[in-house]
Amino acid sequence: MTRTMKICVFYILLCIIPIFFCNSSAQQSNIIDLRHADTLRGRIINGEEVRELIGNVHFVQYPANSGIVKVWCDRALRYIAQNKIELYGNVKVIRDSVTLRSNEGIYYGDLRLMQGQKGVELERGKTFLTALNAKYFIDEKRTVFWENVRLADTASVITCGALNYFETDARSVATFDVHLFEKANAIDIYGDSLVHFEKQKYTRVMKNPRLVKIDTSAAGIIDTMVVESRIMESYQDTTDRFVAIDNVRMVKSDLSSRCGTSVYFTEKDMILLYASPVIWSGGNQITGDTINVTMEDKKLRSLRVKNRAMAVSQADTILSNRYNQLTGRELTMYFRADKLEQIDVQRSATSLYFLFDNNEPNGANKSSGDRIIIDFIGGRADKIKVIGGVQGQYLPEKMIFNNEANYNLDGFKLFENRPQREGLKIISE
């Protein structure tokens, strides 16, 4: 053999040997190694050789790059040609930190797939998953659950119709009648699908999310807050908060709102509204660039509005075109026992109030100043104080009658579709 021929043979061997060992490794990873059974019987089922294993059955498999898989059960049927084992009674599968239990199951050696049925439970650290059925894809480190699925970890409980659990990043993707219960804040979130990241304590609900929180005040009064939006996020890290995004609607007692984005800080009992927020409180409509809602003892305590702040309320039910109005750079409304107590408007404050004499219309007052403070008694304005750079104008009744729209303040606009709660869902008027 010449030197050139020897070199060619050498390179051919270099190519063949890795292929041989790769195939050998793949074949070895498919082998199921029986470690123990009290009784072993040979059977033929549909022309296939089957071994029946009875009592303390235990076998292992060494999938490539997936860690050893250990399986136990009371009884098994091992199909030799299919490299498949049917498992019955007290089925348990352990791989790394994952333990899977079921009443019955099928283990596919070639696919490295465990299918559990008639009641399945997966345990990994402090995460527990249960369902009627599951498929455990060993190489992918992924488990699919369906029918009566329930996931519980340290922060929350999720129930749904189907769920994909990814071990590597402790991520869960839930679909069909999803319900998330946040333990720390006793908040329920419903939706069509969600993604939950256990390590980050973050959850995102993508379809038809609805947040429900039932509160009981110190006086024992029950009140329910409902929030709906296009997307909803839950953060349980340094600051527990819920973020509602796009077409946000909220109803709580007689308070309701619409906006583009809302953030609910549970520990502070505070709600921030952004992106064209509108709030209705009693007979008042409040608008601005941002609105901060604070609660105290589960009741409304204040509404703080920044930039282009405006409060509007109907002055008379008969003369329906007349609206009392307040505008300014900043506006704060204070409440006590769910009743408006005071309005404080600062920076470029302007007010328009319609007057009545013995219930008869009597024109309107338009005032402006650096600051306007209005005190209320029984929900009705009692005292009005204008501070700094005061200007005032009385508008006679004959001037404004049937011309009310001409005297509305800049930025005046009435918003429709006020959200209303019907049960635990939101509808519009």
Report long-range pairs for 410-414 (Cβ below 8 Å, ≥24 apart). Answer: 410/327, 411/287, 411/308, 411/310, 411/327, 412/310, 412/312, 412/323, 412/325, 413/287, 414/285, 414/312, 414/323
Whole-number pLDDT of residue 64: 67
Alpha carbons 175 and 164: distance in angstroms, whole number: 9
What the block records as the tokens of 312 is 């509007």
Whole-number pLDDT of residue 217: 63
Name the CATH topology of 30-208.
lipopolysaccharide transport protein A fold (2.60.450)
State the DSSP code for 409.
P
State the DSSP code for 388.
S
Whole-number pLDDT of residue 8: 37
238-429 in CATH: which number? Answer: 2.60.450.10
Report long-range pairs for 399-404 (Cβ below 8 Å, ≥24 apart). Answer: 399/363, 400/363, 400/364, 401/361, 404/319, 404/321, 404/322, 404/323
Alpha carbons 332 and 345: distance in angstroms, whole number: 6
State the average pLDDT for the chain: 88
Whole-number pLDDT of residue 220: 67
What the block records as the tokens of 155 is 């922060």
State the DSSP code for 414.
-
Question: Domain residue spans in the chain?
Answer: 30-208, 238-429
| Burial of 153 per CB tally in 10 Å (0-12, 13-18, 19+) | buried
Identical fold at 30-208 and 238-429?
A: yes
Closest CA to 236 of 265, 269, 276, 207: 265
Whole-number pLDDT of residue 17: 34
Alpha carbons 129 and 126: distance in angstroms, whole number: 10
CB 73 within 8 A of CB 102: no
Alpha carbons 161 and 184: distance in angstroms, whole number: 24
Whose tokens are 């991520």? That residue is 171
Alpha carbons 288 and 110: distance in angstroms, whole number: 63
Whose tokens are 């190489």? That residue is 139
Whole-number pLDDT of residue 66: 67
CB 239 within 8 A of CB 407: no
Total count of residues recorded for the chain: 429
Whole-number pLDDT of residue 378: 79
Q: Where are the beta strands (DSSP E) in 39-112?
A: 39-45, 48-61, 69-79, 84-95, 98-108
| Burial of 36 per CB tally in 10 Å (0-12, 13-18, 19+) | exposed
CB-based burial, 249-275: b 16+ in 10 Å, e otherwise: bbbbbebbbbbebbbbebeebbbbbee
Q: Which residues of the chain have a pLDDT value below 50? A: 3-27
pTM of the model: 0.83
Using alpha carbons, list the distances in angstroms from residue 5 to 15, 214, 355. 16, 84, 112
